[in-house]
Structure 1
Amino acid sequence: MSPWLEYKTYAAGHRFTRSVKEQSKCYIVRTGAVSIHRQPDDILIDYIPAPTIRGIIPIPDDFESLYVIKIFEEAEIAIIDIDVFDILLSELNLWEPFARHMQLLASLAPEVIFRLNSRRIYEAVRMQLYELMAKPESIREQIIVENFIRAKVQASRSAVMHILSELRKGEYVVIENGVLKSVNSIPERF
């Protein structure tokens, strides 16, 4: 699609908002990384490195949440109307690759929901440590592990810090200056 798209560079911190009333655009991220946050509860959905497409899944009419796409690392992004995106998919015969992409997203959704809704704080922290470790190093090096976990699981700072401290003592994780450096096999129960 690149020849039909106009990319612009956006600095880290720039934000785009999606809501029921504002969802006619999609964002094709060619370089950099973005994060997605749900408002008003400020839940971090994820950090996503390029290449990625955001804004392609419609928000149901009865949703009151607002979603913020925040530029995490300077990014090249093309913003196009979702109807134009659909036309390009048809004209360029890209519906099958797009459907496979959506199939992959749908298969990941239950896992993301499980991670965000863990019943025990320890389980949620454990899952988020593995998730953060799977991020590219360029993103992970910019993230304070405690902030990342609290933004994802909405737990108290003291609870998260206690668990991280115990995991560091047991040498299950290596954290330097607040940044997650490595994860060893973290026990399922603590």
Structure 2
Amino acid sequence: MDKKPVPDLLLPMSKPTKAINKLIAAFRTASAPLEIKGKESVIELNPVKEQAKVVLVLDGALNIYRTADNLRFVRAAAPNLFGMQGSPFRYNLYQFRSEKGAVLETLPFSRAMELVSEHQLFKEVLHFQTYLSDFQAYRTNLLISKSTYQIVCAFLFELELMPPEQRLRTSVFNYIHEHTHLARSGVMKILSDLRQGEYINIENGKLIAILKKFPREY
């Protein structure tokens, strides 16, 4: 077992739901339903030879994957919106896929910017962009130069913060693997050790609870 300490989990700022809802309310004066062809439909925010667009997530969620290796970056649940950066570079780094049942609307990026100006929503945009930037930094900090044990512990904390109904539908191993691509053997060994030490309660592959503080060394 390695001897790297497990740092305290630093979490990004809370999702600014109030700011997001204000932006969505303004954008819906000009948005239209976005047709979804099926589960895991890819949403193009900056289609070739088309206007960049903003996508509103009104119900359900989008799953965001890193294009290079298909690593799942995050599940972004409603209310949410994407496309405010207007950056083709950023959108090429990630792929946005809709979940089954997601309700989405869209409007051109240029019109969204006009509405921000008309409704004086610059503060809300800044608040939302700060949240996105913080979350990306959090994910980077979580995955880079960390041991397998540190990463597994961090994602167990993430699972614990989920609403219970969502957490109890989520496989612990699948959640960690989709977000990290860590080897199954290493992840399962750590989970088994944490269960035997009565640090976590897992039933049928689902996290029931974290029972006590994880050891700093593994």
- Tell me the TM-score range normalised by the shorter chain: 0.7 to 0.9
Query: 69-78 or 118-127: which moved more?
Result: 69-78
C-alpha contact (below 8 Å) 2:43/2:95 kept by paired residues: yes
Which residue number corresponds to residue 61 of structure 2? 33
Which residue number corresponds to residue 215 of structure 2? 187
Alignment of 1:73-112 (within 5 A): 74-112=101-139
Q: Distance in 1 between matches of 2:54 and 2:168?
A: 28
Moved over 6 A (4+): none
Q: Say whether 1:149 aligns with 2:176.
A: yes
Q: 1:5 aligns with which of 17, 20, 31?
A: 31
C-alpha contact (below 8 Å) 2:46/2:88 kept by paired residues: no
Q: CA deviation at 1:70?
A: 2.0
Deviations 1:45-84 (A, max 9, x none): 11122111123234464x7954222223522111222112
Q: Secondary structure at the match of 1:186?
A: coil
C-alpha contact (below 8 Å) 1:17/1:67 kept by paired residues: no
Alpha-carbon distance change, 23 to 181 in structure 1, aligned in 2, over 3 angstroms: farther
Q: CA deviation at 1:106?
A: 2.3
Q: Secondary structure at the match of 1:3?
A: coil
Q: CA deviation at 1:140?
A: 2.5
Q: Secondary structure at the match of 1:4?
A: coil
Q: Secondary structure at the match of 2:215?
A: coil
Alpha-carbon distance change, 26 to 140 in structure 1, aligned in 2, over 3 angstroms: farther
Which residue number corresponds to residue 205 of structure 2? 178
State the one-letter code of the partner of 1:177: N
Q: 2:146 aligns with which of 115, 119, 127?
A: 119
How many equivalent pairs are there? 189
Q: CA deviation at 1:8?
A: 4.8
Q: From the two aligned structures, give the one with the greater strand fraction.
A: 1
Q: Which TM-score applies when normalising by structure 1?
A: 0.84
Unaligned runs of 5+ in 2: 1-25
Q: Secondary structure at the match of 2:209?
A: strand
C-alpha contact (below 8 Å) 1:40/1:65 kept by paired residues: no
Alpha-carbon distance change, 150 to 6 in structure 1, aligned in 2, over 3 angstroms: same
Alpha-carbon distance change, 177 to 156 in structure 1, aligned in 2, over 3 angstroms: same
Query: 2-11 or 141-150: which moved more?
Result: 2-11
Q: Say whether 1:71 aligns with 2:84.
A: no
* Structure index of larger Rg: 2
Q: Which TM-score applies when normalising by structure 2?
A: 0.75
Alpha-carbon distance change, 23 to 122 in structure 1, aligned in 2, over 3 angstroms: farther
Q: Say whether 1:56 aligns with 2:53.
A: no
State the one-letter code of the partner of 1:25: K
Which one has more relative contact order, counting CA pairs under 8 Å at least 6 apart? 2
Which residue number corresponds to residue 15 of structure 2? none
